[in-house]
A = this chain, B = another copy of it.
Amino acid sequence: MTFTVRILGSSGALPAYDRHPTAQVVTINDRPFLVDCGEGTQMRLMEQDVRKGRIERIFISHAHGDHYFGLPGLLSTFQLLTRTKPLHIYGPAVLESLVMIHLNPYKEDWSYPIEFHVVNPQEAELLFEDKDVEVHSIPLKHRIECTGFLFREKSRSLNILPEKISEYGLDFKDIKVIKEGGDFTTKEGNQISNEEFTKPPHVPRSYAFCSDTAYHEPILDQIQEVDLLYHESTFMEESAERATKTGHSTASEAATIALKAGVGKLILGHFSAKYSNLGGILREAREVFAESHLAIEGGVFELPLVRAESHKLST
């Protein structure tokens, strides 16, 4: 039931001051997803004791080097570790050729399948789902095709109170109905409300990764009320012109997006090498949105599990 976002890299295109290019591990119910893979990501994974062999899906926002130059190295390392588990990579159409050209020398001994999934940069899509989570793309506004990613937990079934099973002599069929929100009818024909048998469900959690992007209000619909938002803030307002020109955002713009979307918490990242100290970026964002935080290598943001007030299952 974990849901965490681990920062591997917080730097913009030019690494500086021990900040590294973009990469994150989003872990949901013990399953790690890698988001972006800048140069050196495999070293960051080692430093932070992330079990990289467990990664089955990698999401790449766009084909600027600081977001994928670590991919050939990581994939080669998987091969050297004789991985057999399939790996799925979601990203722009051009990504497959950019990566596979480097794996040619090893292809005869290759030990695991790699499947590339092309992400449409124009429209939000459901990229992946399993019983726990859905991952959607978020079209962004950058110099080249670029998408963010929305991780949304699925609604869970209701937790049944164990003592009620013996009290009412519930069988498997009864339990299934109750877990899905149904009421229970006794042999005598008395209908007993679902709330008598269950605890309210947990509220499904959500995380949106938005980098790289200029200020872009069309994303608001998709990221409305997410618990946690990562929004790039390459610059401060004093460089607003440069931000616009290069397809990036200022800290103030990132915070405005967070405010308008009503998110729970904002992570700022993708910092320009011009800032040796990030205090100004944080202050600028907090003037707009108090729950702003800096991405720092090794930082882990945990989304707490909150029980809903009502027993109603969200859809």
Contact = CB atoms under 8 A, between A and B. Distances in A.
Interface string A270-281: 000100000000
Interface residues of A, number: 31
B15 A43 contact: yes
A144 B101 CA distance: 15
A81 interface: yes
Interface of chain A, main secondary structure:
loop
B46 A144 contact: no
A222 B18 CA distance: 41
A75 B76 CA distance: 21
B105 A144 contact: yes
Contact of A42 (B15, B73, B81, B101): B15
Interface in A37-84: 39-40, 42-43, 46, 63-66, 69-70, 72-73, 76-77, 80-81
Nearest to A40: B40
A77 B16 CA distance: 11
A177 interface: no
Interface string A16-48: 100011000000000000000001101100100
B69 A13 contact: no
A73 B143 CA distance: 19
A97 interface: yes
A20 B43 contact: yes
A22 to B, nearest CB: 13
Contacts of A42: 15, 39
A14 interface: yes
A126 interface: no
Contact of A39 (B15, B66, B70): B70
A182 to B, nearest CB: 54
Contacts of A305: none
A304 B160 CA distance: 78
Interface in A97-117: 97-98, 101-102, 105
Contacts of A21: 73
A39 B40 CA distance: 6
A43 B9 CA distance: 13
B69 A72 contact: yes
Given A13-B80, A97-B101, 10 more contacts: A14-B77, A14-B80, A15-B42, A39-B40, A39-B42, A40-B40, A63-B105, A69-B69, A69-B76, A105-B143
